[in-house]
Copies of this chain bind each other. A is one copy, B any other.
Amino acid sequence: MARPRSYDHDALRAATIRVARRLLEEGGPPALTARALARAVGATPGTVYAVFGNLNAVLLEVNRETFLELAAVIDAVPDGPAADWLDRLADAYVAFMLERRDVWRGLFEGPRETESFPPWYTELIDRLIGRIAAPLAELGAGPRARDLAEQLFVSVHGVVALAAIGRLDMVTARPAQALAREAVETTVRAIKAGPA
């Protein structure tokens, strides 16, 4: 009753996301084009659009995978004495993001402000911040742990944001990892200074 699909759409979807990621890694956001995607998966732009609706949806899927990987990496960071634990978290986060600069840029650059974000996006960030709050609480941050974790996350985000576009050296001579660790140290010292 109908022309049968010539593609396994699930497989095509997965392949497209895989290729999208490779394109991003190799050429940054400008390399992620509908035609390049289609060519690489052996289909045509129209088919990609039939599967994803638009290019942004492809990027969103890459972001999902990236975030899931990040979550796994963060979860794999062994806990320990709170200060060391935080350092390891910071190191892992910075290293992860800088190894994927261009994918990172896809995560944080550009999209419309009015766009609403899918639940997994928010949930993963929430989880990440929870992982930061744990050692902070251990250090005696008490009820402020969550707030401080948010603050620390944003600070490290600042480091990575500048490093990912190659502009951290305009602000400081220190490398990203050092700055992230110092942000951790400052937070820890502020906690040790006692309750507000």
- On A, residues with C-beta under 8 Å from B are 29, 105, 108-111, 113-114, 117, 121-122, 125, 129, 147-148, 150-151, 153-159, 161-162, 165-168, 170-172, 174, 179, 182-183, 185-187, 189-190, 192-193, 196
A110 to B165, CA, bound (A): 7
How many identical chains are in the complex? 2
8 cross-chain pairs, A with B, having the tightest CB-CB distances, nearest first: A158-B158, A155-B155, A113-B166, A189-B190, A150-B172, A193-B193, A157-B158, A186-B190
**What are the residues of chain B within 8 A of A196 when measuring CB–CB?**
185, 189
**What are the residues of chain B within 8 A of A179 when measuring CB–CB?**
150-151, 154
The distance from the CB of A42 to the nearest CB of chain B, in whole angstroms, is: 31
**What are the residues of chain B within 8 A of A167 when measuring CB–CB?**
108, 117
- 30 CB-based A-B contacts, threshold 8 Å: A29-B110, A108-B167, A109-B109, A109-B110, A109-B165, A117-B167, A125-B170, A125-B171, A147-B172, A150-B171, A150-B172, A150-B174, A151-B155, A151-B172, A151-B179, A151-B182, A151-B183, A153-B171, A154-B155, A154-B168, A154-B171, A154-B179, A154-B183, A155-B155, A157-B161, A158-B159, A158-B161, A186-B187, A186-B190, A189-B189
If A172-B154, A190-B193, A193-B189 touch, does A165 touch B125 (CB 8 Å cutoff)?
no
**What are the residues of chain B within 8 A of A190 when measuring CB–CB?**
185-187, 189-190, 193
**What are the residues of chain B within 8 A of A193 when measuring CB–CB?**
189-190, 192-193
**What are the residues of chain B within 8 A of A147 when measuring CB–CB?**
172, 174, 182
A171–B129 touching, CB < 8 Å: yes
- Nearest opposing residue in chain B for A124, CB measure: B170
Give 11 new A-B contacts, CB below 8 A, not counting A109-B165, A154-B162, A187-B190: A105-B110, A111-B165, A113-B165, A125-B170, A129-B171, A148-B186, A150-B174, A155-B158, A157-B161, A186-B187, A186-B190
